[in-house]
Structure 1
């Protein structure tokens, strides 16, 4: 797919096959009618794969997820150019509830569980598009720790348990595409391991396609099939997960490693930023 270590997007798009579940094509997003955040954002999520979207704070990763889910108007944002296509249908202007019914679910950054409700009541809320067809046993079977906590008020759960609940709530809508926004944020190292194992099993055990937004690039690329790197509202690098993990720029800025495998000083990194190969 790439020649060596990932390919700058200015050179060519990555070959991802023909079975594209999600396509974001040249999308532009503006907030408050003046602040341009996404500047021709394009990516593809093939059916049955985990795709990692990497980038520093402010690169536009969460805005990309909001463009896919239709949540931009809640923050005075809008897609002003480009298209979002899901399973062959143009959903660029579709309402958020319609996108959920089509099979898109989002696990938001910061967990965002309903703290005053019990675990089970949170899952009920996640099944609002399905009603009596909801399959609680499937979710409790996949996340057995939640089964033992079903009567617990969500606000009293640990951070890791709340993140599991957020994932379980998303699964209640029976999605075909799961969007995960920084699932490891604020978790202890052992819980981070468990969270990425859950992401892996979502794909291998449940067959879910996933778009994973994550700053922990090393762990994200370990569970992903392919990935994209964002800078300033656009994709600047794309490739297989293995190619990106071996890319010297990704090592430098997202894995914390220099060309020789050692960490560099902040001063060196600032100097190195001026000569990023993808700019």
Structure 2
């Protein structure tokens, strides 16, 4: 487990991505409206065939990180102003979003964003827009086999599904693009605990049974770290801690700030802990 140095302020160059890395962000800086700095030299790596969790509180920059990876920043007046985003070793920092999907990246956005006026089947077909015609029927059956509930509801209008059913539909729609990297933004948002457990069960199965690489953005740190292989903790646009998920689950500061297992009235920021320990070490 590693506390991450502040490369944005130190000027240190990021380490090269290790072999077998599917996605890497290297010292990425993101600015909105030419003035609002959100990501401050962020670096992370997603190994092929693994689940990586990116954790942090509201406003830490988690969703901005996904938008930088998926190419959606320009639609919100944002841009990557420094650093690079690599996918399978290729620099995709300025690549068109649709081209990134063709390269094998799929994103499930926060809030699910299903097409409420379309049926379940029509929503799924819409997810295959980058695929050659003729693959749709085969891919539909794969999704229905993985999500039997969707098969039973294929003719239902998506707007009438429950939150958990809509989340399954959003994941199923992303799978229709035949991704090698699935990115999920707050998949537990607004769901009851049992549904959260079910959704993360599906995420784990997708990784184990289909070998899908997953990057999941979550505030529910406990659930995310149960299925992830590796985790990053983010605050104020920077990575402040990273390590194997099992080690993060046992870290006392992570327990206090993100798992709700610490003392009441404790410290509010993991970055504060780093600074406190640093000061204590040098006093």
TM-score (norm 1): 0.92
Q: Which residue of 1 aligns with 2:258?
A: 254
Contact 2:253 2:270 in 1 (8 A): no
Q: Determine the C-alpha separation between the residues in 2 that align with 1:165 and 1:243.
A: 33
Tell me the secondary structure at the aligned position of residue 39 of structure 1.
Answer: strand
CA RMSD of aligned residues (A): 1.9
- Measured at CA, do residues 149 and 191 of structure 1 come closer, stay the same or move farther in structure 2, by a change above 3 Å? same
Q: How does 1:98-109 map to 2 (within 5 A)?
A: 98-109=99-110
Q: Determine the C-alpha separation between the residues in 2 that align with 1:194 and 1:16.
A: 33
Contact 1:16 1:46 in 2 (8 A): no
Q: How does 1:42-191 map to 2 (within 5 A)?
A: 42-130=43-131, 131-134=133-136, 135-191=139-195
Q: Determine the C-alpha separation between the residues in 1 that align with 2:258 and 2:273.
A: 13
Q: Determine the C-alpha separation between the residues in 2 that align with 1:278 and 1:162.
A: 42
Contact 1:116 1:154 in 2 (8 A): yes
Task: Return the offset for 1:163.
Answer: 0.3
Q: Which residue of 2 aligns with 1:8?
A: 3
Tell me the secondary structure at the aligned position of residue 28 of structure 1.
Answer: strand
TM-score (norm 2): 0.90
Q: What residue ranges of structure 1 are gaps of 5+ in the alignment?
A: 1-5, 259-263
Tell me the secondary structure at the aligned position of residue 57 of structure 1.
Answer: coil
Task: Return the offset for 1:7.
Answer: 1.3
Task: Return the offset for 1:278.
Answer: 6.0
Q: Determine the C-alpha separation between the residues in 1 that align with 2:107 and 2:271.
A: 35
Q: Determine the C-alpha separation between the residues in 1 that align with 2:271 and 2:162.
A: 42
Q: What residue ranges of structure 2 are gaps of 5+ in the alignment?
A: 8-13, 277-283
Normalized per residue, which structure has more helix?
Answer: 2
Contact 2:124 2:172 in 1 (8 A): yes
Q: Which residue of 2 aligns with 1:230?
A: 234
Task: Return the offset for 1:274.
Answer: 7.8
Contact 2:17 2:24 in 1 (8 A): no
Q: Which residue of 2 aligns with 1:277?
A: 274
